[in-house]
């Protein structure tokens, strides 16, 4: 049995030693029923009746009333009276990506056989999402590129794909990866590239309060990992 020396540092376990790796990267991007990395309760939201949805809104509204009371507000005053229900409906909209079916609602049979093997780029796709750490917005633009391997996707579907993943509680790094991995699984192209440029209100309006800051993340798969292809993609992005 090892006896610690007097000058040895007692190191506590790190999160990497105590928690498993985020499992979404180990799962197929599109499940058999068409959902993409469904969260706990995603299918329940997708299948609920209007009456069940109204009950969900009521439960969220009750929780918001508690929050408003605890921050010192009067939940009976005119300006606040209907805020809990408004917030509940807004939150369900902000997170509608959980209940989106990628096959039926996003792709909708818009994958086509096409003899094209040159780079396709759709840039400046606006996204709005919620940071899962503080539940405040981050927003910006997504740029998506891919090199087809006999299959192309309707251009608007790239925007819908980004929208689906953005309308969840997110971190920008994961959002970049999810878009890239899903497109890779759907088309099986020679490569996929995703770049996101976003402003985070959790950094702008609280904490360090750096109003001019922005965050850039990327995910490069397949041939985009090669230096020449990556450079071509980034050069085309910067050409205005």
C-alpha span between 25 and 208 (Å, rounded): 31
Q: Which residues are catalytic?
A: 131-134, 172, 200, 202
Q: Could you tell me the maximum CA-CA distance found in the chain, to the nearest angstrom?
A: 70
Provide CB contacts within 8 A for 30, sequence distance 6+: 36, 102, 103, 182, 185, 186
Q: Other C-beta atoms within 10 Å of 157: how many?
A: 19
Q: Which residues pair with 126 in a beta bridge?
A: 141
In which region does residue 209 sit, left (phi positive, over 0), alpha (psi from -120 to 50) or beta (all else)? left
């Amino acid at each position: 049995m090892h006896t610690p020396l007097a000058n040895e540092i007692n190191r506590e376990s790190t999160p990497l030693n105590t928690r498993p790796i985020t499992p979404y990267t180990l799962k197929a991007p599109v499940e058999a029923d068409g959902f993409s990395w469904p969260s706990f309760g995603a299918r329940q939201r997708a299948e609920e009746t209007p009456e069940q949805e109204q009950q969900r809104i009521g439960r969220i509204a009750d929780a918001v009333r508690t929050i408003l009371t605890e921050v010192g507000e009067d939940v009976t005053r005119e300006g606040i009276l209907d805020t809990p229900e408004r917030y509940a409906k807004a939150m369900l909209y902000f997170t509608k990506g959980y209940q989106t079916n990628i096959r039926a609602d996003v792709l909708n049979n818009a994958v086509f056989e096409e003899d094209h093997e040159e780079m396709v780029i759709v840039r400046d796709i606006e996204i709005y999402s919620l940071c899962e750490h503080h539940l405040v917005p981050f927003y910006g633009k997504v740029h998506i590129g891919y090199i087809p391997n006999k299959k192309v996707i309707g251009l608007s579907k790239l925007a819908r794909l980004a929208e689906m993943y953005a309308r969840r509680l997110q971190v920008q790094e994961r959002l970049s990866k999810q878009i890239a991995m899903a497109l890779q699984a759907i088309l099986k192209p020679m490569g996929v590239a995703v770049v996101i440029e976003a402003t985070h209100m959790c950094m702008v309006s609280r904490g360090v309060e750096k109003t001019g800051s922005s965050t850039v993340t990327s995910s490069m798969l397949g041939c985009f990992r090669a230096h020449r292809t990556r450079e071509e993609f980034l050069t085309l992005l910067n050409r205005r």
